[in-house]
Chains A and B, each alone.
Chain A
Amino acid sequence: MTPLVEMRNISLRFGGNQALDKVSVNLYPGEVVGLLGHNGAGKSTLIKVLSGAYQADAGQIFVNGQEVTIRTPQDAQALGIETIYQNLALADNLDAVANVFLGREKVRGVVLDEDFMELEARKTLDRLKVKIPSLRLPVAQMSGGQRQTVAIGRAIYFKARCLIMDEPTAALGPEETAKVGELIKALKAEGVGIFLISHDLHDVFDLADRLTVMKNGRVVGTVYTQDVSHDDVLGMIIGGVMPKNVRPAQAPLPQ
């Protein structure tokens, strides 16, 4: 099986700060890979390289075994890579419908097809089971969970093959977090590959098949979730050391 996405030896420097240093990760269809690490470890920067927000100084990206160049968010979207950013990246002054379709509006001639977009947005957001009474209010007026739902709806409407979720539950209560968990499982069952970044080890242990831990812009290692304990992972995050006697985890376990 070829990986859905493979990032090989990605390096990126911000001024004097080596944010990414030869980072390699991969992701297979129907798999959740948790990306872990302290604040500033480089997780968001890494996924922004994949989503076309940043361009790496060096390294290669492969999608379905083919080497690709991702220069813009559109490039990534065209490859089926959708991203839910840590800060959500919503235009607060626009309504939910406009945000779901931002940059990819449906038009008839030059006129926005608002009805189509409203109906589709409604269908997509209903799937996420978080109540949003009016899709026509500015998202600034919505709760954290509703805004999160809009951001997720934006990513899943366009049939992602690879979904990147950067801290998707940071702003959510326990109930809404559980709903995001269910959604991740459902998408996984559909064969979507998911990079999941989260601070909450419980969530990640519950959802991820493999874990890639980063520290100071480098990969500490990649392990199978079932092989490690919380303490092992904390050791990787804090100390940057691999636990003893674990298998390398460069591909998912055979079913």
Chain B
Amino acid sequence: MQMQSTARARTSLVQSLGVDGRILTMLIVLAVVWTVFQLLTMQQPGQFLSPQNLWNLSVQTAVVGIMVGGMVMVIVTRQIDLSVGSILGFTGMIMALIQTVPPLGWGGHWLLALLAGLALGALIGAFQGYWVAYWGVPAFVVTLAGLLIFRNATFIVASGRTIGPLDDNFKVLGGGLNGSIGEFWTWVVGLVVMAFVVYQALSNRSRRLKNGLPVRPVWAEGLVTGTLLALILAFVLVMNAFPYPGTNIPRGMPVPVLITLVVLFVLNWVALNTRFGRYVFAIGGNPEAALLAGINVKRMLVAVFALMGMLAALAGAVQAARLNFVTNSMGNLLELDVIAAAVIGGTALSGGSGTIVGAALGALLMSSLRSGMVLMGLPTEWQNVVLGLVLLAAVIWNTVYLRNRR
């Protein structure tokens, strides 16, 4: 009895916060992981919570972070995309070839390379989605074929060579020496986002009140908004606490991190506020109901795969820019990281359930674990064992969570 009523009190607390329980869990897990790593690395020069490490961590999260929101949408519609690592490699290679001077490359403009790469990624995604949607071929098979085809096409188009160095302007995308937006613009971005968060919270609340709709209690609203503002502020401060080598000029937010945040913000907004997002979830919840409601399920699936392909290409641009040279193994096995991040972030493989924010936190958790284990000098094999165990634990927790909610 006693236990039941405390359990009920706890759920109603979470409910009045109006935050997805799985996202709350992710945040707590992240906080614990960061604290533990900090305690374990306290004695060494590169502490886990040092600005330098956190700055690097943000860059290391970018490539998976750009793709993970797309993967959430793919998985929510009950599909899967195993080809994203290969699309990333292939489009990255094409972008490298376009902008590199002859005889290795084709001598085009870097911006043309970027746009062509994005279009190519979208096209490949749409092509795969077409077979899934209109021919009923399982996505697992279609994208497994895509994985093989584009991984090896990457080798073929470059005749097995490594292509580079890339255009200096293009390299800004990778967050290297000129790849940060500086202290001032980091503050600008941070303050704009903070203002937006406050505006959004206030205007939503007053509009719902005006319409006589239920709102969450003031304390809950304040707590959620306040936490969000504190996190954004902390992020800005950390980004501005890591200077260029030999100077005390802060780097500010790396461009790839900015790209990642913009992508995640837009995807989250689309998922929650547009018909497109609504239909993605409807298709995942009950494809037949979606069809009977007049939703063009086939076209939606093609669009979701095209979006995924384009995001893989964008991630390919960032990765290529970061490495400066594109090899034919770039992005190898990355599909596993992206899928794992989505699943750790609470996306159910059975479809219909998942959040962009959760998946972003999942990606951050994965790169945090990797970064922390690297700092501790754990061998790669052990790192992967730990990541595998975390993935398993996340899936089990997710299954239990969804079962209890039914």
Q: Is A85 an interface residue (CB 8 A)?
A: yes
Instruction: Determine whether the beta carbon of A91 is less than 8 Å from that of B289.
Output: yes
Would you give the 0/1 interface string for B279-314, flagging 1 where the beta carbon is closer than 8 Å to chain A? 001101110111111110000000000000000000
Name the one of A51, A74, A94 contacting B281, with C-beta atoms under 8 angstroms. A94
Of chain B, the residue at the smallest CB distance from A118 is B213
Q: Is A112 an interface residue (CB 8 A)?
A: yes
Name the one of A87, A103, A141 contacting B406, with C-beta atoms under 8 angstroms. A141
Q: Is A1 an interface residue (CB 8 A)?
A: no
CB contacts (< 8 Å) of A89 on chain B: these are: 286, 288-289, 292-293
Asked whether A91 and B281 contact (CB < 8 A) given A102-B290, A115-B207, the answer is yes
Q: Is B70 an interface residue (CB 8 A)?
A: no
Would you give the 0/1 interface string for A41-83, flagging 1 where the beta carbon is closer than 8 Å to chain B? 0000000000101000000000000000000111001000001
Q: Is B352 an interface residue (CB 8 A)?
A: yes
Q: Is B278 an interface residue (CB 8 A)?
A: yes
Instruction: Determine whether the beta carbon of A115 is less than 8 Å from that of B211.
Output: yes
B: interface residue count bin: 20 to 34
Q: Is B248 an interface residue (CB 8 A)?
A: no
Q: Is B4 an interface residue (CB 8 A)?
A: no
Of chain A, the residue at the smallest CB distance from B288 is A89
Instruction: Determine whether the beta carbon of A72 is less than 8 Å from that of B211.
Output: no
Instruction: Determine whether the beta carbon of B289 is less than 8 Å from that of A102.
Output: yes
Instruction: Determine whether the beta carbon of B208 is less than 8 Å from that of A115.
Output: yes
Of chain A, the residue at the smallest CB distance from B293 is A103
**B130-152: which have CB < 8 Å to A?**
none
Q: In the assembly, what is the distance between CA of A77 and CA of B293, in Å?
A: 10
Q: In the assembly, what is the distance between CA of A77 and CA of B292, in Å?
A: 11
Shortest distance from the beta carbon of A23 to any chain B beta carbon, whole Å: 21
Of chain A, the residue at the smallest CB distance from B287 is A91
**A125-154: which have CB < 8 Å to B?**
138, 140-141
Instruction: Determine whether the beta carbon of A93 is less than 8 Å from that of B274.
Output: no
CB contacts (< 8 Å) of B405 on chain A: these are: 138, 140-141
Q: Is B347 an interface residue (CB 8 A)?
A: no
Of chain B, the residue at the smallest CB distance from A110 is B274
**A87-120: which have CB < 8 Å to B?**
87-94, 98, 102-105, 107, 110-112, 115, 118-119
For the residues of B in contact with A, the DSSP-based class is: helix
Q: Is B275 an interface residue (CB 8 A)?
A: yes
CB contacts (< 8 Å) of A83 on chain B: these are: 292
Q: Is B159 an interface residue (CB 8 A)?
A: no
Q: Is B367 an interface residue (CB 8 A)?
A: no
Instruction: Determine whether the beta carbon of B294 is less than 8 Å from that of A92.
Output: no
Q: In the assembly, what is the distance between CA of A232 and CA of B224, in Å?
A: 66
Q: Is B353 an interface residue (CB 8 A)?
A: yes
CB contacts (< 8 Å) of A94 on chain B: these are: 278, 281-282, 285
CB contacts (< 8 Å) of B44 on chain A: these are: none
Instruction: Determine whether the beta carbon of B290 is less than 8 Å from that of A119.
Output: no
Q: Is B5 an interface residue (CB 8 A)?
A: no
**B176-222: which have CB < 8 Å to A?**
207-208, 211-213
Q: Is B273 an interface residue (CB 8 A)?
A: yes
B273, B274, B294, B405 — most chain A CB neighbours (10 Å): B294
CB contacts (< 8 Å) of B275 on chain A: these are: 105, 107, 110, 112
Would you give the 0/1 interface string for B61-84, flagging 1 where the beta carbon is closer than 8 Å to chain A? 000000000000000000000000
Q: In the assembly, what is the distance between CA of A94 and CA of B290, in Å?
A: 11
Instruction: Determine whether the beta carbon of A85 is less than 8 Å from that of B292.
Output: yes
Q: In the assembly, what is the distance between CA of A3 and CA of B291, in Å?
A: 28
CB contacts (< 8 Å) of A51 on chain B: these are: 292
Asked whether A93 and B406 contact (CB < 8 A) given A53-B292, A102-B289, the answer is no
CB contacts (< 8 Å) of A115 on chain B: these are: 207-208, 211, 213
Instruction: Determine whether the beta carbon of B278 is less than 8 Å from that of A112.
Output: yes
Q: In the assembly, what is the distance between CA of A214 and CA of B128, in Å?
A: 44
CB contacts (< 8 Å) of B278 on chain A: these are: 94, 98, 102, 105, 112
Instruction: Determine whether the beta carbon of A102 is less than 8 Å from that of B282.
Output: yes
Name the one of B211, B289, B293 contacting A119, with C-beta atoms under 8 angstroms. B211
Of chain B, the residue at the smallest CB distance from A114 is B273
Shortest distance from the beta carbon of B58 to any chain A beta carbon, whole Å: 30
Instruction: Determine whether the beta carbon of A72 is less than 8 Å from that of B288.
Output: no
Instruction: Determine whether the beta carbon of B353 is less than 8 Å from that of A93.
Output: yes
Shortest distance from the beta carbon of B350 to any chain A beta carbon, whole Å: 10
CB contacts (< 8 Å) of B212 on chain A: these are: 119
User: What are 19 A-B interface contacts by the 8 Å CB criterion?
Assistant: A74-B294, A87-B288, A88-B289, A89-B293, A91-B286, A91-B290, A92-B286, A92-B352, A93-B285, A102-B282, A102-B293, A103-B290, A103-B294, A104-B293, A107-B274, A115-B208, A115-B211, A118-B213, A140-B406
